Structure 1
Amino acid sequence: MDISKLSDFNTVALHGGFSAASRASGIPKTTLSRRLSELEEELGVRLIERGTRALRLTEEGQLLRDRTTHLIDELAEVGEEVAGHAGRTRGRLRVSVPGLFAHTALGRIVAEFVSAYPDVAVEVSVDDHFVDPITEEFDIVVRANPEPTTDLVGQCFLRDDLVYAAPPRLPIPETDGSSVPAVVIAAGRDATEWTIARNGEPRIVRPRTVLRCSSMLLVYNAVLAGAGVAVMPRWLAEPDFATGALVDWGTVPGRRLDAWALHTSRHLTSPKVKAFVAMLMAAYDPASRQDATFLAGLAERPFAR
């Protein structure tokens, strides 16, 4: 398969037409059309349905684009390095992050990143569900406690306790079995009891759900406003524990939050991905990093828990 024709096909598919692809690439429309026709003839399938106003990828065309767009980007980056641009961080970086992370820590991290790497255009998508970085074209997917997979590699940049955070008006019950007002995630399962690890002594309470929220940020704001007790990451509540705006009842035994930066398990990892993950790692306490050698060697390993 001719790589230049494949690259032209991906350019046309990305921009949705020959005219837009020609303006973006500087290649004449007639050349793009001819190369695409030659690629279709070589493969023996139609890749794009040509309409009078718009183009549409066929099923085979969509499959080819999904499987090759990242390869074309990687080949271009390798070419730049071979040509003497080794270490240059540039291009578009698409990142998927969950809502809690997006609305708390990410703004500062991204601001520092674009300041340090002005040749990188960052696009952030806020998604609480897991996304496929290949088919949805994300360079990095940030998730908490993701399911193991052999298709991705990544680094755990934050490990944290889960704690019971409560407004000051609610004292921790002194006896087991007491009922407490609870603010919970809507997608979670209801618990008949909570075990609180506090000062080496477990305490059992019975959560009474008073509010269900669709996101952890809503849970946090509701608890801060006095609605009830909730389970949340320690890093989120720690500043309020320090000021007295929230009270730390204790930790959730046997449960932790592991935040991962995941990307595709290819042999080549672009400088922009390495740089962004390195900045995530540097943004958090070194004691919480799972792989302290990552910053020095940027070594990759399959994602597993």
Structure 2
Amino acid sequence: MAPLEDLCAFTAVARHGGFRTAARATGTSASRLSEAIRRLEAQLGVRLLHRTTRSVTPTEAGGRLLARLRPVLEEVDQALEEVNDWKNTPAGRLRLNVPVSASRLVLPRIVPAFMAAYPDIELDVVADDRFVDVLAEGFDAGIRYGERLEKDMVAIPIGPRTQRFAAGASPAYLDKHGWPRHPRDLLRHACLRGRFSSGASPAWEFVRRGETVKLEVNGPLVVGLGGTVDLAVEAAVAGAGVVYLFEEWLAPYFERGELEPVLAPWWPRFDGPFLYFAGRRQLPAPLRAFVDFVKAFDRDLPPG
């Protein structure tokens, strides 16, 4: 009988389509996974994976093995989770995929208290602007906004129920270039834009009294909607142009007077984020603990 560790390694590599991706998802090394696959193929006497410089895909034999292994390994996971239920506190690893905005604006209020309540849970958070399949990428759950939720997932609110996008510019910039009075005035201003990893740049949207204005703005700086967003904010503070971002992100700069609110009556509201996960029959203990904690945390928040 092949070792369970090697079978799990094969399943991870086949599911993630590569050794490095599978290594990140499972918390091990690509070389260790590769050695496990070599042992398994040698023991079975068949090739299980096609390997190229660009991809790793199952052979016909590997595909059949994968199809049979998946339900078996899911049963093993569920059996271990049932044992976990007997512990006084849940333990194990919880992997979350979240947008950068959630890692900055939502999770800091929740994570410290959750870690204190569940010291045996290892929380692994990846901030990413890509729209990923959380299960295929090896995550237990994710945080996304309503328009990006997958239909077959369970979703619960996490964080504020509504949010706004805000525009801001430094006093020096506005003194030099003037105040926009209507969103279309921004077409004549230097706008500091964001771009997804896909290459798409979201439009700037403004809403007032039933009128919606969407703009494809231009400007001297484009930043990735990930770790480089702060560069756009600092550039705006330095007088380089107008920045458009979550209101909570810009609020400290407004309070300190480093930025001035621009077109505030036009700032659009939208529904807040959701924690989403697969509707499994039995959730892994760390995920179940986090879901329950988020629900309780939300109930304890003061109204408004």
State the TM-score, normalizing by the size of structure 2: 0.64
Distance 1:107 1:19 in 2: 39
Q: Residues 223 and 139 (structure 1 numbering): CA distance in 2 closer, same or farther, change over 3 Å?
A: same
Q: 1:161 to 1:115 in 2, by over 3 A?
A: same
1:128 is paired with a residue whose SS is coil
Change (3 A) 1:9 1:228: same
Aligned length: 255
Q: Are residues 116 and 195 of structure 1, via their aligned partners in 2, closer, same or farther at CA, if it must alter by over 3 Å?
A: closer
Q: In the alignment, which of 265, 273, 284 is matched to residue 270 of structure 1? A: 284
Match of 1:181 in 2: 190
- Number of the residue aligned with 2:219: 209
**What displacement does 1:160 show?**
0.7
* 2:256 pairs with one of 243, 246, 271: 243
Q: Distance in 2 between matches of 1:196 and 1:239?
A: 23
Residues 147-166 of structure 1 aligned to structure 2 (within 5 Å): 147-158=148-159, 159-166=162-169
Report the Cα offset of residue 258 of structure 1.
2.7
Query: What is the Cα-based RMSD across aligned positions, in Å?
Result: 4.4
Match of 2:232 among 192, 213, 219: 219
Deviation at 1:78, TM superposition (A): 1.9
Q: 1 or 2, which has the higher strand percentage?
A: 1
The CA deviation at 1:97 is: 1.9
User: C-alpha displacement at 1:125, in angstroms?
Assistant: 2.1
Give a deviation string over 1:151-195, Cα, whole Å, max 9, x none.
21121213311122222332633478533321111332456xx64
Q: Distance in 2 between matches of 1:108 and 1:195?
A: 28
Q: Which of residues 46, 71, 77 is equivalent to 1:73?
A: 77
| TM norm structure 1 | 0.64
Match of residue 229, structure 1, among 209, 219, 242: 242
Query: Match for residue 296 of structure 1?
Result: none
Deviation at residue 212 of structure 1 after TM alignment: 1.4
Identity level (%): 23
What is the 5 A alignment of 1:96-135?
A: 96-102=97-103, 106=107, 109-135=110-136
**Aligned amino acid, residue 263 of structure 1:** F
Q: Does the CA-based 8 Å contact 2:91-2:121 persist in structure 1?
A: yes
Matches within 5 A, 1:186-205: 186=195, 187-189=200-202, 195=206, 197=208
SS of the counterpart of 1:94? strand
**d(CA) in 2 for partners of 1:205, 1:138:** 34
Q: Give the whole-Å Cα distance in 2 for the aligned partners of 1:204 and 1:57.
A: 49
Query: Is the 8 Å Cα contact of residues 84 and 91 (structure 2) preserved in structure 1?
Result: no
Structure 2: gaps spanning 5 or more residues: 13-27, 51-56
Distance 1:100 1:202, change over 3 A: same
Where does the alignment leave 5 or more consecutive residues of structure 1 unmatched? 22-28, 50-55, 289-305
Between stretches 226-235 and 4-13, larger displacement belongs to 4-13
| 3-state secondary structure, aligned to 1:163 | strand
Q: Structure 1 residues 73 and 19 mapped into 2: Cα distance closer, same or farther (>3 Å)?
A: same
Work out whether residues 165 and 268 of structure 2, in 8 Å CA contact, stay in contact via their aligned partners in 1.
no
Does the 8 A contact of 1:160 with 1:256 survive in 2?
Answer: yes
